Structure 1
Amino acid sequence: MNITYRDLIDQTYYFPTEEFDLEGDRLRFHGVSLTDLIERYGSPLKFTYLPKISQNINRAKDWFAEAMEKHDYPGKYYYCYCTKSSHFRYVLHEALKNDIHIETSSAFDIDIVENLKAQGLISDRTYVICNGFKREAYVDNIGRLINEGHRNCIPIIDNYEELSLLDEVIDQPFKVGIRIASEEEPKFEFYTSRLGIGYKDIVPFYENQIRDNDKVELRMLHFFINTGIRDNAYYWNELNKCLKVYVRLKKLCPSLDSLNIGGGFPTKNSLSFQYDYAYMVDEIVNQIKLTCEEGDVPPPNIFTEFGSFTVGESGGAVYKVLYQKQQNDREKWNMIDSSFITTLPDSWAINKRFIMLSVNRWDDPYERVLLGGLTCDSDDYYNSQQDMNAIYLPKFHSGKPLYIGFFNTGAYQETIGGFGGLHHCLIPQPKHLLIDREENGEVFISVFSEQQTARDHMQILGYGPGPDGEPEAQTSLRTGKKRETAS
């Protein structure tokens, strides 16, 4: 009878995989022993395996190169990294090793771009695609970047007022794109994306605000749907509508030469995950070329903005099972040494599921459990895998430590969770490791951030010590007079 955790995985999935294998009864991730990491650095623990970022970038570039060669596609392909997926320096530094470009979403992104330029990691030839709703600071920062010579900065117009705001702060000719407000899936909570300008309004917007403005050159049409790039009727229908707008607009605007299809490639959320990336790229390139040929216009350069696909599969988190609570005759709660709400917020906020595996004790019998976080919040739990409505782990034993790993968590979790700040119930942020590998295979590990301390939280909360913990002097709202305080 197959009763061990190893047996369960073997009979449920094809194992080992590209990312995972075993050393004895202990799990390895890209050849790195997670047990060794735990023994050296403790738990809870977060880590980023940097080589995976470059690997995924180059996989996508190869897919597009192969599809364009197959279909004799005349345009070029540009890979942009969507910075909001993870703004961290170590991510950008790894990604920019691969001759890519950048997509931004807010004002402070431009400060990051300027920092990268100062370090020589990007240049004026690097495309900086500026998406998002643009408030004054974002507009000013875009204007500064362009005025200082970054001619490949392309702000994507999101609403009817943005072009005039940009025109006021930019003192030279500049390029723009227009974002299409795509229609959402029928089951979605609203019909049309709040981002961009409606399909039927794109051409009138160009004719009214861009065509006769000698300072502005329309270069890009931007298209993205919330559910991502999927092989279903909804995606192909929306892409076809976008291409029809591109053809119509291209006939009116000779300078238009690029189509940005956004991001949306999925990341693996299960060992049984299946997605034919190469087929999807091939069909997208084919559809773009066919539609443009039918419309008698040149096919555009293709831009993508992959964020989660770039960085998601590089990340992981490891927790220790502290204790098991038998709450009734059916439910066993394994309590971890951290919180799902704070360290994997997508699992709580949007019910996202990640690959979850035991790190050790693969040769022990398994049991069905629920996972609970440390916060006193009923929503701090994890109760199922992506491909099964249950969680199975080696049986809890107070004398045999059990560790579990969550994988492909590298996109959004740190920023949504509030890296370096306060977390629900003051659960500390875990230690974060960076894992790199030389060409000869040697692995190097560095500590990016230590686990938060009580002192860190006290300072943020205003309890001190030091000037960061002292509130500003109180001032009268009516007279502006400062209040005297006792020494």
Structure 2
Amino acid sequence: MNNKYIDLIDQSFDFPQPEFKLEDKTLHFHDIDLMTLVETYGAPLKFTYLPQISNNIQRAKTWFADAFKKYNYNGQYKYCYCTKSSHFKHVLDEALSNDIHIETSSAFDLDIVRALKKEGKITDKTYVLSNGFKREKYISNIAALINDGHQNCIPIIDNYEEIDLLSEEINGKFQVGIRIASEEEPKFEFYTSRLGIGYKNIVPFYKNQIHTNKKVELKMLHFFINTGIRDNAYYWNELHKCLKVYTSLKKICPTLDSLNIGGGFPIKNSLAFDFDYAYMVDEIVNQIKIVCDEEEVDTPNIFTEFGSFTVGESGGAIYKILYQKQQNDREKWNMINSSFITTLPDTWAINKRFIMLPINRWRDSYERVLLGGLTCDSDDYYNSEQHVNAIYLPKYNKDKDLYIGFFNTGAYQETIGGFGGLQHCLIPTPKHVLIQKDEDGKLSTRVFAEQQKSEDLLSILGYQAESKETNTSRAKTAELLENRI
């Protein structure tokens, strides 16, 4: 009978795949023996395969280069990395080694930019596109960077006040972009994105606040929708609406020369994943050229801001199955030695699914199970993935250890999970004040914790110098692992 786990995979998917293969009865990921990784470091374990970051960047550059050549497209392509996906220094170092640019979303991002500039990883020629809703600290950090000579720092205007706020703090001329407030799919709870300025208001906004301001030049129009880049009527309709705004602006604004189509490339979340990236890039470039030719305006430089696509497929998490609980005649719960809520929060917060595979015991028979985390929260579970609302794993055996891996988890999990005190978009944890009564019943207050500072988060992210002992220990461990794998 074909009742082994390897049989299930062979019957359900094309396997092996470029990043996954079975060798010596254990799963290998990009030729890395994952059981050796577990034996070396233990589990639970998270890992980042840095070469995949460069691999995806170069793939995207090739797709756009091919499309530009095919359609004789006049313009440049600029690949930006959306830093909120993962701010860690090792991620930025790897990404920036590919001659790319970055997109920021909050004040502390600009402190990271300064740290990277000091190391020579970023230069004044690197585009720093500053998105997001901007208040005092973010405005002042953008202004400081531009005032120090980084003219390729381009704030993307998100609301009507930002032009005046930036003009007050930036000494000379500066360039800006405008973000379009895209209309959401009908299934959303709201009709229009809270980010950016509405389609109908962009041209009047340019005429009233930018054209009349001698310090400001409009360089870029920014377009992004929450559902990402998909081959469906909704995406193409929104892109065409964006292009109509772009061409209308271009006719009255000669300095406008760039279109930022944001991020949104999906990443592989199943062994059955099928997305034609090259076709989508080809068609996007084609549509932009068609509309610009029809309106008789120059084709724009194209910027993208890929975040999850850049870093997502580099990450993984490995857990050990501790125990199996049979709660009724149908449901078997395999308990992992960690928590989904804390280590893979997207599975809990937005019901996101990742590729999940056992690391070992592929030639054992399998069973249907649910996966439970260690917390006492009833939502700390994972119950579906590529097997259509079911999880199949090698049968639990208390005498045979079973390890499972979640793959392509490299985007957002650490910040949303609060790694070391990180928060999403590096928004600092606020000051915490305790209110208490004294013996006389009078109220008093005291500060329990101050608001996080930039240096607190930069230290967690790896932008502080490491000791010689740490570097030596890291090198020895890496040598040991390389020899074993």
Same fold (TM over 0.5): yes
1:52 aligns with: 52
Corresponding residue SS for 1:180: strand
Q: Is the 8 A contact 1:370 1:391 kept in 2?
A: yes
Within 5 Å, which residues of 2 pair with 1:297-376? 297-376=297-376
Determine helix, strand or coil for the equivalent of 1:420.
helix
**What code does the residue aligned with 2:10 have?**
D
Aligned twin of 2:63: 63
Partner of 2:461: none
Whichever residue aligns with residue 314 of structure 2, its letter is S
The answer (yes or no) to whether the contact 2:3–2:366 under 8 Å persists in 1 is yes
Q: Is the 8 A contact 1:71 1:286 kept in 2?
A: yes
Q: What does residue 214 of structure 2 align with?
A: 214
Deviation of the 1:212 alpha carbon = 1.6
Q: Match of 1:312, as an amino acid? A: G
User: Which residue of the partner structure matches residue 126 of structure 1?
Assistant: 126
Cα distance per residue 1:89-136 (max 9 Å; x no partner) = 000000000000000000000000000000000100000000000010
Query: How do residues 29-428 of structure 1 correspond to structure 2 at under 5 angstroms?
Result: 29-421=29-421
1:54-77 CA-partner distances (Å, limit 9, x unpaired): 000000000000000000000100
Residue in 1 that maps onto 2:27: 27
Shift in Å at residue 160 of structure 1? Answer: 0.4
Structure 2: gaps spanning 5 or more residues: 424-428, 448-485
TM-score under structure 1 length normalisation: 0.87
Q: Distance in 2 between matches of 1:331 and 1:230?
A: 36
The CA deviation string for residues 344-371 of structure 1, in whole angstroms up to 9 with x for no partner, is 0000000000000000000100000000
Q: Which amino acid aligns with 2:82?
A: C
- What is aligned with 1:451? none
1:168 aligned partner, one-letter code = E
Shift of 1:478: 10
Q: In the alignment, which residue of structure 2 is the partner of 1:2? A: 2
1:98 match: secondary structure: coil
Q: Distance in 1 between matches of 2:375 and 2:66?
A: 49
Separation (CA, whole Å) in 1 of partners of 2:414 and 2:386: 21
- Deviations 1:188-227, CA, capped at 9 Å, x for gaps: 1100000000000000000000112111000000000000
Equivalent residues in 2 for 1:438-457, closer than 5 Å: none
Give the letter aligned to residue 380 of structure 1: D
Could you give the per-residue CA deviations for residues 386-438 of structure 1, whole angstroms, max 9, x where no partner exists? 45110000000000000000000000000000001499xxxxxxxxxxxxxxx
AA aligned to 1:173 is K
CA distance in 1, matches of 2:283, 2:350: 30
Q: Distance in 2 between matches of 1:387 and 1:393?
A: 11
Q: Secondary structure at the match of 2:330?
A: coil
Judge conservation of contact 1:182–1:238 (CA < 8 Å) in 2.
yes
CA deviation vs aligned residue, 1:271-328 (integer Å, no higher than 9, x gap): 0000000000000000000000000100000000000000000000000000000000
**C-alpha displacement of 1:24:** 1.9
Change (3 A) 1:178 1:326: same
Instruction: Name the amino acid aligned to 2:36.
Output: D
Does the 8 Å CA contact 2:414/2:422 hold for their aligned counterparts?
Answer: no
The answer to whether the Cα contact below 8 Å between 2:272 and 2:386 also exists between their aligned partners in 1 is: no
Alpha-carbon distance in 2 for matches of 1:284, 1:17: 28
- Aligned-residue identity in percent: 74
Tell me by how many angstroms 1:25 deviates.
1.4
Conserved 8 A contact 1:21-1:29: yes
Deviation at 1:479, TM superposition (A): 11
What one-letter code is carried by the residue in structure 1 that aligns with 2:295? G
Please give the alpha-carbon distance, in whole angstroms, between the structure 1 residues aligned to 2:50 and 2:443. Answer: 55
* Alpha carbons 1:312, 1:408 under 8 Å: kept: yes
Q: 1:481 to 1:275 in 2, by over 3 A?
A: closer
State the distance in 2 between where 1:357 and 1:90 align: 26
* 8 A Cα contact 1:221 1:260, kept in partner: yes
2:466: which partner in 1?
A: none
Q: Which runs of 4+ in 1 moved over 3 A?
A: 477-482
Q: 1:410 to 1:481 in 2, by over 3 A?
A: closer
Q: How far apart are the structure 2 equivalents of 1:398 and 1:201?
A: 64
- Equivalent position SS for 1:164: helix
State the AA in 2 paired with 1:350: I
Gaps of 5+ in 1: 424-459, 461-470, 483-487
Contact 1:359 1:402 in 2 (8 A): yes
Conserved 8 A contact 1:272-1:387: no
SS at 2:228 equivalent: coil
Aligned to 2:371, the other structure's residue is in SS state: strand
Amino acid at match of 1:299: T
Report the TM-score, using the length of structure 2 for normalisation: 0.87
Distance 1:478 1:172 in 2: 50
Distance 1:80 1:421 in 2: 26
